[in-house]
Amino acid sequence: MAKMAVDLGELLVPYMPTIRVPRSGDRVFKSECAFSYDSPESEGGLYVCMSTFLGFGREHVERHYRKTGQSVYMHLKRTVKEKATGAAGGSGSRRRNGKVFLELNRDFNRDDYECEDEAKLVIFPEHHEVPLPNIEELPALVTIACDAVLNAASPYKKQEILSWEDEIQVSRHARSLRQQDNGVQIPPSGWKCSKCEIRENLWMNLTDGAVHCGKWFCDGTGGNGHAMEHYRETNFPLAVRLDNITADEADVYSFDEEEAVLDPQLANHLAHFGIDILQTQKTQNGHTDKEMRLRAREWEVIQESGHKLKPVYGSGYTGIKNLGNSCYLGTIMQVLFSIPEFQRTYVGNLQRIFDYSPLDPTLDFSTQMGKVGHALLSGQYSKPPVKSEIIEQVMKEERKVLDWQQRGVSPRMLKALISKDHPEFSSIRQQDAHELFLHLMNFVERQNMGSENPSDVFRFLVEERVQCCQSRKVRYSQSVGYSMQLPAPIEAATNKEELIAYEAQRREAEENMTPPPVPVRAKIPFTACLQAFTEPENVPDFWSSELQAKSAGVKSCRFASFPAHMLVQIKKFTFGMDWIPKKIDVSIDMPDYLDLSRLRATGLQAGEMELPDIKPPIVIPDNSRGLNSFLDSSDIDESSVLQLAEMGFPLEACRKAVYYTGNMGPEMAFSWIIAHMEEPDFAEPLGVHSFAEASPSFSTLSSIIGIQPPEESVAILTSMGFPRRQAIQALKTTNNNLEHALDWIFTHPDHEEESEAASDTGDEDLDDGASSGANGHSDTSPSQNQERLSPMVKDGPGRYELYAFISHMGPSVKSGHYVCHIKKEGRWIIYNDHKVCLSEKPPKDWGYLYFYHRLSGC
C-alpha cells in the first residue's frame, strides 16, 4: 500500500547518494519498460530509476530493486481520455501543476483525445510516494534531478539527432580531386577486393578506381581494411561504397578526414569510372507512369487491399509497429517467433533470461529478444474490443476502435541494439530483409554458444564441386549456409507471348504519348527455378592446383545436409549494365510441399580424380610495412595508444589493439577493443615473438612462429564440444580471436573430421576426412550422416511444407514495404505492420522469402 511521506527531506537523506542528475550522454528511458512494453499509458504506469534512468513496468520494478538496491524511482502515469462530443480544438497533453513529460502517442487521433500526466517519486521497499513537483519540501538536488528527467529527450530521438547522416560535411578534397585516366570501368556487379577477394563491404577509390574491402565491424564481418591500406600507400583520400550507390545517394568516406563526407561532384566522379547515376535518375523518372501502375497493382495484391480483412487478436496475433522503414525487421521477427525453437529459447526461458540479465538490459540481446517474443506470443498487447466498443464503432462507422486495439508493439530497443555500429541497419533507410535475417543469425550464434541454439534449425552444409576444365580433376569442399538462393530465369516464362505483346503496347504508348497498358508479370514455373539452381556455373579465374596456374573451372553446389527449416530466397534484386537498380517482377508458383531430396550431395564419384591439395602461391606485397608492424612491438604508434587510453581503456589493451590492427589508426584499434573487451586476457601485457622475415598472412603467422594460442581460449572452445585440435587450429587461423575462431569453425566443418582423423592415425592426410565423409553418401541414411557432420549441423530428410513467406513491394530493396503471411492453426494470417488479419487470398506466387519446415514424421 502506498504511503505519503511526512518529512520529505529527512526521508530522502539516506538515498541522496543514489539520486543522479542526467548528464548529456545519459539515456533516459521514460516511455518504455526495459523488459516489457509497459509505458506511462499502461495501467500501472512506468517507474524510472533515478540512478540508471532505466524504465520498468509494475511487474519488473521490484526485480530491479532487488538486484541493484536502488530505492528511488520516478513513477510516470498518463491517463488518456476521449474528448467530449463537440469539444473544440486539437488534442492536448497536460500535467498537474507542470509541463507534460511525454509527447502525445501517435496511436491517438489528436483531434479526439486529450491526456493528463502525473509524476511522483516512489521509495522502495516501503512504497513511500512524493508528489511532483514539490520544490518547497524536496532537497535542491532531488528537484534538479526530477526536472532533468521530466525534460529529457527520448534516447531514440537523441540517436536520430546524432546520426552520422545529420553530421556529414562536404569533403575538402571533393572539388579538387584529380582522377586518373587509367581506363578502369566498374561493372554493376561481381566486385571483389583486389587484395583478399572479399565480396562484401567493398569501397572504390575515387582517384584510381581501385576496389578494396573496408574495415571489419564489431560483429566480425566487413573486411580486412585493405581500402585503408590502399590510402596509406597512395594518399588517395576519397572512396565510395559500391553496394549502396543509388540515383539518390551514396556513402562516401574520406580517409584523410577520417569521417563520412559529402561529395558535391560525386556524379561526375562516378561517371569517370562508368557509373552514370545521372542517367539512372533520368531513366527512373522516364518510367514513372509505368512504374507507378506496376507498383500500385503490386501493393494491392500483396496487401490484399481488395478484400475486407477480418482482424484477429490474442496470442501469436500481435502486430509490430513500423518505426519508419523498419518493416523488414518486423516481418522477420514475426516469422522467427512462429518457430518453436525460438519460442523455447527466448520465451520459454523468459524468467531466467530476465533474472540473469545485465545491469543494463537494453544492451542485452537475449533480454530484448525475450521481450519481443513474449509481447508477440502473450496476447497482452492484442486484445479484442469489448462488445460496447464494437457497437459504438458500428454506430460511428469508423475503424478507430479496431485500430486502437491493434496498436502492436514497438521494437525500438531491439533495433537499436542489433543495428549498433552497422552502417546500414543503424540508418533510417529501408533494408533487405534477407540481409537482416543473416545479421540476426550471427547475433543468435554468438549469444547461444555452448547452449541450445535456435539458429540450428536453419543451418546446413553446402557441398561445392569445382572441376578444372583442362585437367578434368575435381575439388570438393563444404561450407555453412542459412538460405537457399533461387534464381528466377525470365527465359523460362510460360507467358512469353503475353510479355512480348505488352512490351509492344508499352513502346507504342510511349511513342503516341498515351497511357501505358496494364503491366504484365513473367510467370515462371518453380521447376525452372530449381533447374537453374542446379545448373553448373563457370569459374573463369579458378586456380588449378594440378596446373599450378589459373584456369577455367565449372562449379556446382548440392546439399550435404538438410536443415529443419529451409529458407528459400528468390533472387529478385539486381543491377542492370547501366547501373540502374532493378527488381525482377515475376510470379512463381511456389509449392506448398517441397522435396529437395534429389539435391543431396553425393561426394566423390567413381572415376573422379581429386585435384592435389596445394594452396595457391602467396604473393607478398612490395610494401611489407603492414606485415612487419605486426611482428615488431617497437613500431607501435604510441600516439594512437594514448588516444585510446584517454578514453579509459587499460594501457596494455590499447597497445595490443594498435599492434593487432597494424598501426592503422585509433579508429581501427577502437573497433578491435570493442570486439575483444570480454576476452580473459584483454588487459594482459602484449607478448610478441620477434621474427625477421615477412609473414605471408595472419593465418600462418602462429604456425611459422610456433606460438600456441592462450590456454584459456582453447578451454572455452573445447567446453563447447569442439575437439582440442580443431580449437587450436581455429585460434591460430584467426590470430587468437575467440569470436572469429568460432566463425571459422562454423565455416570449416570438415576440419573437425580432419582433426579427429589426424589424432587417430597421426600421419593421415588432412583432406581424407572431408572427401571420405562425402564419398558414397547416396548409400548413407540421414541418421548415419548425422554422426559424421559437425555438431553444429543437424541433418534430416529434405521434404518440407510451406508455413510462411515475406513479400516486398517497391522497385528496389532500399525502398518500398514488407508484409508477411504465416500459416497458423490451418489459416493464413497477414501481418502488415501493426495490423494482423485473416488472409483471404495469400499471394504465394509474389513472395521474396519463403520459409519451409520439415514434414512431420520424416
Separation between Cα atoms, residue 806 and residue 444, nearest integer Å: 21
Local structure of residue 448 (DSSP, 8 states)? T
Residues in the chain: 858
Separation CA 365–CA 417 (nearest Å): 7
Which is catalytic among the residues 146, 327, 654, 820? 327
> To 10 degrees, what angle do helices 327-336 and 365-378 make?
80
Residues paired with 46 in a beta bridge: 57, 76
Give me the residues paired with residue 476 across strands: 465
Q: Cell numbers 538460405 correspond to what residue?
A: 483
Rounded to 5 degrees, what angle do the CA atoms 461, 463, 465 make? 165
Alpha helix (H) residue ranges in 327-455: 327-336, 340-342, 350-355, 365-378, 387-396, 400-405, 412-418, 433-447
Query: Which residue in 817, 821, 834, 853 is the catalytic one?
Result: 817
Q: How far apart are CA 144 and CA 780, in angstroms?
A: 73
State how far the Cα of 225 lies from the Cα of 70, in Å rounded to an integer: 44
Beta bridge partners of 463: 478, 558
**What is the distance of C-alpha 767 from the center of its chain?**
34
583 Cα distance to chain centroid:
22
How far is it, in rounded angstroms, from Cα 191 to Cα 542? 16
Is residue 674 within 8 A of residue 643, CB to CB? The reply is no
Residue 94's CB is within 10 A of a number of other CB atoms, namely 12
Q: How far apart are CA 237 and CA 201, in angstroms?
A: 18
Q: Who's near 606: CB < 8 A, 6+ residues apart?
A: none
Residue of 45, 12, 49, 10 lying closest to 29 (CA atoms): 49
Ranges assigned E (strand) in 443-548: 460-468, 474-481, 484-486, 522-524, 537-544
Residue 57 C-beta-side C-alpha neighbours within 13 Å = 14
Q: How far apart are CA 537 and CA 335, in angstroms?
A: 32
Is 327 tagged catalytic?
yes
Amino acid at residue number 82:
E
Nearest to 50 by CA among 163, 130, 112: 130
Give me the residue label for grid cell 518529512: 7
**Computed over its alpha carbons, how large is the radius of gyration of the chain?**
30
**Contacts with 263 (C-beta within 8 Å, 6 or more apart), sequence order:** 170, 171, 174, 206, 238, 240, 252, 269
**797, 306 Cβ separation under 8 angstroms:** no
Peptide bond preceding 843: is omega within 30 degrees of 0, i.e. cis? Answer: no
Strands 565-570 and 484-486: parallel
Using DSSP's 3-state secondary structure scheme, residue 822 falls into strand
Which of 293, 29, 281, 62 is CA-nearest to residue 155?
29
CA–CA dist 568, 434 (Å, integer): 10
Judge whether 851 and 567 are in contact, CB under 8 Å: yes
Q: How many CB atoms lie within 10 A of CB 451?
A: 9
**Cβ neighbours around 10 below 10 Å, total:** 9
Who's near 190: CB < 8 A, 6+ residues apart? none
Sheet holding 202-205, edge to edge: 169-170, 259-262, 252-254, 238-241, 202-205, 211-213
Which residues are catalytic, by number?
327, 817
